[in-house]
């Protein structure tokens, strides 16, 4: 079955430190991977999509099919990055929903 694993429930770092939020997936087909972010009291919003290969708010993520990973990275964390981050998998089939990991809370303190 398809699955998304985010091993860290909470990641606490200091401002300016590098950040890496881990995400692994299991799917035998050709997946689409996403990172969504949910700031306090706000709706989920797209952060990154693997096929776009762009950097948003300083975050990057590379799809590693060999390791079935899609880790999210940022070289220098900012306090405003504190939020819940969800890695999600789409089966890339019409009409199918996103499958979410359990999420990682990122806490950036000064």
What whole-number distance in Å separates Cα of residue 15 and Cα of residue 26? 33
Stretch touching another protein by CB under 8 A, among 16-24, 54-62, 67-75, 94-102: 94-102
The answer to the question of residue 64 lying near another protein (CB under 8 A) is no
The DSSP annotation for 25-77 comes to: EE-SS--EEEEEEE-TTS--EEEEETTT---BTTBEE--BTTTTB--EEESS-
Contact 101, 4 (CB under 8 A): yes
Give me the least distance between CB of 49 and another protein, in Å please.
Answer: 7
The residue from 46, 57, 62, 79 that contacts another protein (CB under 8 A) is: 46
The answer to whether residue 33 forms part of the interface with another protein (CB under 8 A) is no
Residue 31 C-beta: closest distance to another protein, Å: 13
Verify binding: residue 11, another protein, rule CB under 8 A. Answer: no
N- to C-terminal Cα separation, the chain: 41
34: contact with another protein by CB under 8 A:
yes
């Amino acid at each position: 079955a398809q699955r998304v694993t985010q091993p860290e429930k909470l990641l606490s770092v200091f401002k300016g430190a590098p950040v890496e939020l881990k995400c692994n997936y299991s799917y035998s087909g050709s997946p689409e991977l996403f990172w969504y972010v949910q700031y306090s009291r706000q709706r989920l919003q797209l952060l990154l999509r693997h096929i776009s290969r762009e950097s948003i708010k300083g975050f990057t993520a590379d799809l590693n099919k060999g390791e079935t990973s899609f880790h999210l990275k940022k070289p220098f964390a900012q306090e405003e990055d504190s939020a819940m981050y969800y890695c999600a998998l789409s089966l890339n089939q019409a009409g199918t929903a996103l499958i979410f990991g359990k999420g990682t809370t990122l806490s950036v303190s000064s």
